[in-house]
Amino acid sequence: MSDLRFNSIAGAAIAAVLGVMGVGVLADGVVRSHYPEKAGFLPEVQLETGGSAGPAAPAGPPNFGVLFADAAQLQELVARGERVSAQCASCHTFDAGGPNRVGPNLHDVFGRQVASHAGFEYSDAMHAHGGAWDYLSLNEFLTGPSRAVPGTKMAFAGLRGEQDRVAMIAYLRSISPNNVPLPAPLPEAAPADAAAAPAEGATTTATPG
């Protein structure tokens, strides 16, 4: 009797274990995890080969001889420069005969001598700078006034964007009665491929041994 009871209990335990295993197999078949071999949110980045990138070469001055030669493009630049000049309106006036503010009136600044506007007290550094405000000098000054004229009283950080500087110069030129000839177009730099072509296509002559 005891053996029969033991066999019944053992059989029930084995059946329970088999039942749990069966449920696990069934659940794995119904709810199967589909994990990708690679995480979907990790992009594959292809590194460019061909040498390490060195420091960028300093950019030359804008090609005013080309930019201002196109009448339609010049008109667009003047309109953009007038909008850019709004940044300066708190310190400068641009109309003919306008008053000086923190800075001098800029109506005829294009083409006039540096530190020459009547009634404005310039810094010693600006007086010492000398020269006239033409295309290149204005471009240099507007890029960074304190760097172009160390000691200037002008606190403006400058126009770092070349398009804004060119447009501002176009606007100042358009309102100035001073006539400054347009500079000649700058020569275009030769493509790097053209410079390397003779070396690649050069033939070598064998010397007798």
Return the bridge partners of 132, or none: 113
Whether 128 is in a domain gets the answer: yes
Whether 50 is in a domain gets the answer: no
Burial per residue of 127-151, b for 16 or more beta-carbon CB atoms within 10 angstroms, e otherwise: eebeeebbbeebbbbbbebbebbee
What would the mean pLDDT of 62-73 be, rounded to a whole number?
A: 96
For residues 53 and 31, give the distance between their C-alpha atoms in angstroms, rounded to a whole number: 51
Q: Is the pTM of this model over 0.85?
A: no
Whether 116 is in a domain gets the answer: yes
CATH assignment at residue 160: 1.10.760.10
For residue 88, count other CB atoms closer than 10 A to its CB: 17
Q: CA-CA distances (angstroms) from residue 105 to 38, 123, 136, 170, 180? A: 65, 16, 20, 17, 19
What would the mean pLDDT of 175-181 be, rounded to a whole number?
A: 94
Range of the domain at 105: 64-175
Number of domains observed in the structure of the chain: 1
Whether 49 is in a domain gets the answer: no
Q: Does the pLDDT value for residue 112 go beyond 60?
A: yes
For residues 118 and 97, give the distance between their C-alpha atoms in angstroms, rounded to a whole number: 11
Whether 183 is in a domain gets the answer: no
pLDDT in tens, 6-56: 556 666 666 665 555 655 544 455 445 444 454 443 334 343 434 434 334
